[in-house]
Each structure stands twice: as structure tokens, then as C-alpha cells.
Amino acid sequence: VSPRSSWLTTHLLADPEGVAAHAAAHALGRAVFEEMVAAGDRLAATSVLLAQQYYRHAAAARRAFGADGFRRWVELGERLAIEEPPCREGAAAFFAVPPSAFGPGGVDRAASWWELGRDLSRTSRKLAATFFATTASVLHRADGLSRLHAWVDVARDLYAQHGWRGEFFAHGFASAAPRALVVLPPSAYRIWAGIAVALSPAVREKDVFTLPRALRRWTDIECEVFLRCVLVLATESPQRAYVFYRDLPASLQGVEPSVRSSFLGVLSQAGKRLSSAVTDLVPVAGALLQQIPATERHAALRLAEELAARFPEMVVAMLRALPRVYEEASPERVQEWFASGLEVARQNADAGFAYFALESRTSIKVLRAASTAVALEEAHGLLRKYIQMMSGAPVSVRGIEGVRLRPPLEEFPAENEVALPLRVDWLPTHEGNLRLYRFLAAQLAGRREFGTYAFVPPGGAAGDAETDGTALWRYLEDEQRPPWLEELFLLAEGVRVHHRLCGEYAGLAAEGRWVGRALSERLGSAISDDHSDAVLDAAFAVVLSGGGPAEVPAWLGHEALALILRLVAPLSAAETTVSDSMRIAHALAAALSVGRSRGVRAADGDSILLDKVTGDALIDPYYDEDGLPNDGEARRQLGGQAQERTERPAQELPLALDPDDQTPGGAQPMSPEELKRLLEAGVHVRITQGKGEEVDGVGLYITDLMGKIPSEQIEELRRLLGDPDATHGRGPKRWLAASHDGPSFYYDEWDYHIGDYRSRWCRLHEVNVDEDSGEFFTRALTDYARLIPEIRRQFQRIRPEMYRTVKGLEDGEDFDLNAVIDARIEVRAGRPSAGKFYLARKREQRDVAALFLLDMSASTDEPLAWPEAGDEGGRTADARRLAKRTGRRIIDVTKEALIIMTAALEEIGDAYAIYGFSGHGRDNVEFYRVKSFAEPLSTSVKGRMGGIEPKRSTRMGAALRHAVERMSAVSSRSKHLFLLSDGFPQDYDYGQDRRSNVYGIRDTAVALREAEAAGITPFCITVDKAGHDYLREMCDASRYMVIDDIVALPRELPKIYQRVVRG
């Protein structure tokens, strides 16, 4: 059998490539063809497949390399297959490369490549085969060979140096060649291979050798720096290093190359100290950099690099804080802030950490020095009072990031929590920013006053309105509403509330104009890099400024704005309600979804407004007007044309807002009829103004409005409302929040690690204690019936002599006979008398105020230990009897002690208050009201004393600070704070280390010192036998007492009180 028949078969010739090759071979002439086929025969002796592979490119090779070159090419392939060590797969791969791939180097280039592969095959034939199969792509490049040399070196070393795993590494490495060989610089090959080794076995080499796609666009230097970082991180934690390797390039997509490169510089500077924070940084890195003002990014990264050089562990904290830092302060200020931060960090690493994370009080103070911005912190009290006065209900203020002219709605209006920006810096002066704050506060108060939350959905009766005012929120969150409805509603409602406010408060009209003018320009400049929020805010600002089209800033499209202005115009009428706003919001949503014609879009920049509203989601500008779909996609025309088309069939223009016919579904479009009805029948519509204007065609499909940021929020909120269990603790939090009926307070907390306060660290609520029927109070009085009279008597003894006689007065109740006689003698003797011969009785005031702060932590739920036999000598009969009553807990005895104390205090007439505290975490410190200073010992106070129950943790610092705050309103000369506890301060996030209670003890100690500084004498009483250990650290020995036998507390407490208060 001829060897030829085995390879040059129908099989090869059935393949189009084979056919083409065969034809090309024939075309070269008989002699050449015979030579080619003879070479094929020789190869077929080794492998038929090899011969076929050869033949496919043979003609091309003959043409490209010439006769000699061709023979050399064949020889190279042949030798690869035959010579020791034979590598048939390699030879096949060699022949598989089309001759053109060798570039201008031709067969010489092929020979060099062949040399490399041949060399490698001596290490491993399999590796060489992979080499020939994967590396041909670089051959045409000028630097192709040098890259290949480096590549082969690394591959060979990988194979040789890592035992049995080496083969896998080397193979994985070689397989990745087509991309990595080109994307990475040769200098990085070895690092990359090193990463695979370092990350194994935690990460499979296959995953490492999958190069992150985004690296393609990086420069060689960036790639190398990046890979070096990964390698360094791998020494700390392979998993984290892998996350860094896999995700960082994608995260940095969109960051400009120069910034990216500086950023990588920072990371490489920080080195392995980054490791613990990698997962915090990587997903947000790109977003963080984008949030820093574009002009400041390089300066910011230079600072970060400097920090990385000195305190690498703090870099991530600073990178995360940088956007806020630049938001808070000018670039020059940031420099100063950074310089002081370095100094802080030099002295105390933890403090530096908190400083650069913008968590410490010092940090914020330094940053804000000399700033014109107004922080919520400083305006908080003012705004809270302002809103409370305007709306008549107490409020607590929640900070939100970013400023909006249309503040968000209250999710649960019954909770009386309003949201204001954490910081306002839109205007160049402090006073201006405060005015803006006030404007927002007035809007929030106005919403309450003018019934925003009394919204009743269309079709619902007024009686259906939920008393908690959440109907509005739920209506807006319904998936069936047009997207953007909430934003548009906020605009419409803002306009309405503003006009109602102006009607009621004369001072606000001018204020609104001022805000509108001051902000129109400012918001205009924000539009270029921002989205809908800024546009709608800007539209609102124009409405506020009261400007006609003449005053419209250039960046806002006239006609589009005129559309908005015209639609919201009815809301300026008196007596409008929230339903009117909702109708207008629907009208706006429909109007913005109206299709627009090419003419308008091309003619002017009006569409900018609407484009921005929709987050740049432009619609197809070439849609056919006649082909309007009939579904709910709301492609409508507005204005003149719209009115001409009012004859459209009804099914084409479904009504969405008619309360009797609410059809759920789609975007809830509004028909021209509906719109017209609104414009005409709506309150005082200035319809003439609108009719003549040519605004047809301006608009967008409402479906295109979806998918932007708000939908994410909507999604989240929908989930939150729909499924309370899926909200990650939000449900219980809400439940908690619902039981808080008072405002919340923010307190700093002392962190001894950083030697500084953590700013606004704890959020405290005042909570009412549930009353019992007064049963506990009465029972305690009965139980201690023998003790109470005794204590009363003691207290009567210390009660001051109520009146003291003062002599030598010019006027008084009675004569001082001695003085009268003296005066008489003087007169007789011819001398002038002093004339002061009256006396009076002056009240000797006992001016004491005492606050009892009760630890209501879960540990007070412990039942009392039964007294040891024979250890009862010191106890009174009462105490013995009570100690044996089963089921009594620590808290019960404490309550009894307080009840006896109140009996004594009522006797002596000192002002006193009783509060309890507990909580869970720094966001949820609870301060329980039992009795305030102003309240008399009423039935409900007695009930509340009985109702005190153990709750959760013991965050003493915040509770003490709040108690001090409460006492500051009391004007007594002598103020005392009694802290009753059963253990050391403790909370799950009280300090970084849960097991250590040092943080809590130090914070409490500082809070106690703050109390002293405020003129209040604190005294700690604990029933914890180990109390000496930590109380010694918290305060002076004369300022605490440990009660060893808790049963003795009711008897001891009045004694302690007498001693402390007298002293």
C-alpha cells in the first residue's frame, strides 16, 4: 500500500482547507507538487495526522519561504517528530501555524521558535507541545522572540522547581499563553507564575492563570506593580490575595489610567499591610476614586502614598474616607488635615487609624476648622426645635448623605423622624448654608402641616388612610407606579408645600426666591456629572425663584422647563392637597414619557433636561410616530398636537388616574384627555400660557427611565416592606424604633485606644417604661413596712432647720430689740444710728437634685443567690424573710431600694429623677424614663417603677452623658448622680475586642469625669462583689460603694444618700 493513500485521502480532501491546499499544491507545478507529496509521505510514516497537518500549509509555505526555506521548514517539523525526544504533537502544532504568522522573519523566525520549543521538549514533550500550540500568536511581533525566551525560561523553571506539582504549574502557565504572553510584560511572567505557586493550594492554578480581563488595557508597569502587590499579599493570606487579583482590575474599570496608576502605586507602597482590609477596599476602589473630585484625585493619592509609606495599615481607612474628606473641606484644608493626622498617628497608631477613617472627634474638628459648610451636628438642635415649633410634634433628625432640595419622604411618619443632609456646603457662606438648611427644615415641617402624609390612594376612602401615614410611601413604592413617580412627586409636592407655606408664613416667600436664585446656577453646574436628582432639584429651584422663562439658566431647556412649570402651576393655588400633587406627579410622569420628534431633538438642546432626568437613557430618536404601540408604554404627545389627537380610541389611551377605573399595569400612562382635564379643571390652571407653546415631541419613553439608581433603592425598599424577615435586622430595628416615642440623641464616646472621642458614636433614644398597676410599689412599701418609718426618721433628722434668723436688717418682720436699744443709746448720745434694727427669718434652703440611673441590663434578671446557712447574722428579719422569697431577681431588689429611697426623698423634699438604661449596640442605647425632676410621685410614676424590667446590654458611657444632659436643665446648687449597677459596662460593640471590658470601663470613667466637670457629683453603687476591681479604675474610692449583700441594698441606699449628699 502506498503511504500516500493513507494520508492524501478523501478524508483530507473532503475538508475545504484540504481541498484548497491540494489545489494550491497542484498550481505550483508538477515537480514542486511531487516534492511536497514526497515530504508528506515521509511524515506519514511517523503519523498520518502529522502529514495531513503539514499538507494543509505546505503550498503556502513553499510560496512564502521559497524552495530552500520550504525544505528547511519541512525538516524542522520532521526533526521534531522523529529526533529524540520525539514530539509528534509538537510537530503537528508546528505545522498548524500558517506561514504568514511568522511575519517578515519568515522561516528564520520559525527556526528560532522551533529552537525554543525543541529545547523545552527536552524538559517535557507535553510542555513543548503546549508551547507550539499556544505561542504562535506573538511570532509576528518585533519583540515576539524576546517574550518567548522569557516565557520559556519561566515555564521550564516552574516545571523543574516544584516537584510533582511543577508539571501542573508549568502546563497551566503554558496554556495561558495566547493572552498572557501579550497582555503581560516579559518582566511580569515570573511574578505571575510565582503568584500561582504562592496561592496554591488555596487557589487552583487554573484560576490564577485566568488573567483578569480588565488588565488588557493596563500598561506594562501597572501590570507589574499590580502583580507584585498580589504576590506580597499572598504571603499574608492567599484567599485575600486572590480576591484582590481577581476583582481589583474590574473594580478599577472606568478610572482614568493616570489615576489608576497612582492608585496602584499607593497599594504597592502599602504592601502586605493591606491584607486585612483588602475585602473592604477592592469592591469599592473604583467607586471611591470616582467620588473624589476629578481635579483632586492625584493630590489625594499622593497623600495616600505618603501615608502608605509611613503607616501602611491606615491607608485603606483613609482611602475610604477620602471622598468625604474632600466633600467636607477645601483641598488646602485637606493638606493640613493630613499633616495633623500624621502627627496623631505617630503618637498613637489606633488614634491615627480612627483619625484617617474620619471617626475621631479631633479628625472632624481639624477638617472642619474654618469651613463655611454647616454640619448637621451643629445645626441639629436648632433645626429640631424649628421643625418642632412649626409642626407642633417632637422630631428626631436623621442625617443623610448628600444634599437634595427635595428631601426624602419620611418612611414611617408616626415615628417623627425626619431626614436632613449631614452637611450643607452648596453656598459660599456659612450663613447661606444655614439658610438652605432652614429652607429644607421648613419643607419638612410644611409636609406635616399641610398633610403630605395624610395621602389617601385614589379609590380609597378618607377613612381608609392608615393612621401611621405610611399609605403614601406604600403607594409610591408599588411596582405598578410609573418609575420616577416618587421623584416627580417630590417635585410636585415640594412646589405645593412651598406655596402653602408661603401662604401661611410671609417670611418664606422671599426665602424661597433667595434659595431658588442661589441654587439655580449651582445646580446647573452639577448637572454635567450628575443625574436626575440635580435636574429635578434645578427645576424646583427655578420654580422657587419665581422666575419666568427669561430667568431660566441657559443650561436648562426652555421648552422642557416650561412644560414642567406649566404642569406644576396649579399647585400654587390655595387649599391644594397631597392628592393634587400626586395627580400632577402622574401628569409629569406621563408628559416626560411622551414621544418626541426628531425635529425638536435636533433643533435645540431642550432634550438635555429630559435626557438628564432619565439618566441619559436616550430613546431611539428615529421611532416612527405613526407606529405608536398601543400598549401601556406611554408614548404620548403633549401640547398642541396632543390636543388635536384627543380623538384617539380609548383603548389606546388608558386612563390610569381615574379613581374608579384604576388599571394596574405598566407605566400608568396618562391620556391627553386626562391631562387636558387636569390642566383645565385643576385649580386655577394658567392654561392659556400653556396652549400656545410648541412643546410637542419633547419627551421620553417612560420605560427607558427604569434601571437607574432609584430602581435599586426601590428594590431594596420593596423587599424591606414586603418581607420583614429578609431585611437583615431591619425588622427588629424598626420595631425598636416604633417603641421610641421621643427624639434620639447622639453622643461621642471615648476610645482609649485612640485617646480621643469617637464622634457621634452612640445614638440614644428615650423610651417610656411600661407601667404596672402600681402593685409592685405597694407591695414594696408593705414588705419594708418596718424599715420605712425608720428611714423617714433618719431623714427628718438631716432635714435642715428650715429658718434662720437674720439680724441687722433695714427692714424685716420684727424688731431686733438689741439693735433698737443700741440705736436708742446712740441717738441719746447724739450720734447717728445705723438704722438697721430689724430682724427676719430666712429660709434655709436645701437645694439638692439627685438623679438615679439604673442599670437595666439582662444580668439583673439573675435570681438572688440563697444566703448560706449561718451567714445571716447581719441581716434583719425583713431581709431574711425577703431573701427567701423565691423568684426575686437583682432588679427587684434594686427597684425596692429605689422605692424606699423615694419615700425618704419625699420626706426631705430634694428634687429627684429616676431613669434606667440599656440597649443593644451603639445605635440603640435606650434610656428609660421612670420619673423626671418635674414630675411628682404620681400613680403613673409608681407604676413605671414597678414596670422596670431587665433589657439587654450595659452601655454606661452614653447613658451617663445623657443623664448629665438631663441634669444640666436643673438649677439646683448641689447635683448628684447615683449609678446603680450590677456589673461592669458591657455591650457587644463596646470596644473592638468583645472579651475585653477595658474600653467600656475607660469610657465610663471619662463620662463620670465629664459629669464632675459639669458640676454633678457622681456616685456608683454596685451589687457586684467583684466591683472593686473595675470601680477603682473608673472613679475615686470615695465615689463608689460595693454592696456585698444585695439584700441589704434597700437599707443601705438611703444611708449612702445621706452620707454622700451631706458630704
Residue from 625, 813, 1029, 1044 in contact with other proteins (CB under 8 A):
813
Residue from 483, 524, 669, 812 in contact with other proteins (CB under 8 A):
812
Residue from 310, 786, 842, 885 in contact with other proteins (CB under 8 A):
842
Q: Which residues of 511-542 are buried (b: 16+ CB within 10 A; e: fewer)?
A: bbebbbbbbbeebbebbeeebbbbbbbbbbbb
Query: What's at 531, amino acid-wise?
Result: H
Contacts 24+ apart (CB under 8 A), 675-682: 675/587, 675/590, 675/591, 675/638, 675/642, 676/642, 676/643, 676/646, 678/570, 678/583, 678/584, 678/587, 679/566, 679/567, 679/570, 682/570, 682/580, 682/583, 682/584
Q: How far is CA 949 from CA 495, 770, 784, 980, in A?
A: 48, 9, 21, 14
Q: Does 550 bind other proteins (CB under 8 A)?
A: no
Nearer to other proteins, 29 or 394 (CB): 394
Nearer to other proteins, 254 or 546 (CB): 546
Site for other proteins in 721-760 (CB under 8 A): 743
Q: Are 1041 and 1020 in contact (CB under 8 A)?
A: yes
Residue from 390, 488, 560, 787 in contact with other proteins (CB under 8 A):
390
For the chain, the C-alpha Rg in angstroms (whole number) is: 42
For 977, phi then psi, to 5°, come to: -125, 120
Q: Does 19 bind other proteins (CB under 8 A)?
A: no
Residue from 31, 934, 1013, 1037 in contact with other proteins (CB under 8 A):
934
Residue from 119, 716, 814, 844 in contact with other proteins (CB under 8 A):
814
Q: Does 1 bind other proteins (CB under 8 A)?
A: no
Closest CA to 1004 of 925, 914, 1059: 925
Nearer to other proteins, 31 or 934 (CB): 934
d(CA 983, CA 103): 82
Residue from 372, 388, 641, 727 in contact with other proteins (CB under 8 A):
388
Q: Are 236 and 275 in contact (CB under 8 A)?
A: yes
Q: Does 457 bind other proteins (CB under 8 A)?
A: no
The secondary structure element, H or E, covering residue 303 is helix 297-310
Q: Does 829 bind other proteins (CB under 8 A)?
A: no
Q: Does 840 bind other proteins (CB under 8 A)?
A: yes
> Cell 457662606 sits at which residue?
429
d(CA 106, CA 524): 61
Contact segment (CB under 8 A) with other proteins among 329-337, 482-490, 810-818, 1006-1014 equals 810-818
Contact segment (CB under 8 A) with other proteins among 298-306, 691-699, 709-717, 934-942 equals 934-942
Residue 401 CB-density burial (10 A; 0-12 exposed, 13-18 middle, 19+ buried): exposed
Residue 726, number of CB atoms within 10 A of its CB: 10
Residue from 14, 389, 554, 602 in contact with other proteins (CB under 8 A):
389
Q: Does 385 bind other proteins (CB under 8 A)?
A: yes
Minimum Å gap between C-beta 969 and other proteins is 8
Q: Does 834 bind other proteins (CB under 8 A)?
A: no
Contact segment (CB under 8 A) with other proteins among 260-268, 601-609, 929-937, 994-1002 equals 929-937
Q: Does 939 bind other proteins (CB under 8 A)?
A: no
> Cell 388635536 sits at which residue?
644
Residue from 442, 854, 883, 1021 in contact with other proteins (CB under 8 A):
442
Residue 202, number of CB atoms within 10 A of its CB: 13
d(CA 420, CA 727): 24
For 814, phi then psi, to 5°, come to: -145, 170
Residue from 16, 163, 402, 936 in contact with other proteins (CB under 8 A):
936
* N-term to C-term CA, the chain: 123
Q: Does 420 bind other proteins (CB under 8 A)?
A: no
Nearer to other proteins, 103 or 909 (CB): 909
Minimum Å gap between C-beta 438 and other proteins is 6
Q: Does 394 bind other proteins (CB under 8 A)?
A: yes
Q: Does 844 bind other proteins (CB under 8 A)?
A: no
Q: Does 392 bind other proteins (CB under 8 A)?
A: yes
Query: What's at 465, amino acid-wise?
Result: A
Q: Does 843 bind other proteins (CB under 8 A)?
A: yes
Q: Does 14 bind other proteins (CB under 8 A)?
A: no
Minimum Å gap between C-beta 375 and other proteins is 15
Q: How far is CA 1010 from CA 141, 504, 754, 763, 1005, in A?
A: 74, 44, 18, 18, 9
Residue from 38, 820, 825, 865 in contact with other proteins (CB under 8 A):
820
Closest CA to 803 of 840, 847, 848: 840
Q: Please give the grid coordinates belonging to residue 649.
A: 380610541
919 forms beta bridges with 925
Q: Does 1018 bind other proteins (CB under 8 A)?
A: no
Minimum Å gap between C-beta 735 and other proteins is 25
Nearer to other proteins, 392 or 428 (CB): 392
Nearer to other proteins, 795 or 984 (CB): 795
Q: Are 1022 and 1040 in contact (CB under 8 A)?
A: yes
Nearer to other proteins, 427 or 442 (CB): 442
d(CA 551, CA 489): 24
766 forms beta bridges with 927
Nearer to other proteins, 103 or 743 (CB): 743
Nearer to other proteins, 88 or 836 (CB): 836
Q: Does 837 bind other proteins (CB under 8 A)?
A: yes
Nearer to other proteins, 108 or 813 (CB): 813
Nearer to other proteins, 348 or 388 (CB): 388
Minimum Å gap between C-beta 330 and other proteins is 26
Q: How far is CA 481 from CA 568, 665, 668, in A?
A: 19, 8, 6
Residue 1045, number of CB atoms within 10 A of its CB: 19
> Cell 477645601 sits at which residue?
330
Q: Does 832 bind other proteins (CB under 8 A)?
A: no
Q: Does 702 bind other proteins (CB under 8 A)?
A: no
Nearer to other proteins, 840 or 998 (CB): 840
Residue from 35, 328, 425, 511 in contact with other proteins (CB under 8 A):
511
Minimum Å gap between C-beta 819 and other proteins is 11
Site for other proteins in 858-917 (CB under 8 A): 909, 911
Q: Does 650 bind other proteins (CB under 8 A)?
A: no
Contact segment (CB under 8 A) with other proteins among 165-173, 690-698, 933-941, 1038-1046 equals 933-941
| Total of residues contacting other proteins (CB under 8 A) | 37
Q: Does 831 bind other proteins (CB under 8 A)?
A: no
Minimum Å gap between C-beta 684 and other proteins is 23
**Half-sphere exposure in the Cβ direction for 815 (13 Å, CA):** 9
Q: What contacts 113, CB < 8 A, 6 or more positions away?
A: 102, 135, 136, 139, 145, 148
Minimum Å gap between C-beta 903 and other proteins is 16
Dihedral Cα 1035, 1036, 1039, 1044, nearest 10 deg: 80
User: Which residues here bind other proteins, judged by CB under 8 A?
Assistant: 381-382, 385-386, 388-394, 438, 442, 504-511, 743, 812-815, 820, 837, 840-843, 909, 911, 934-936
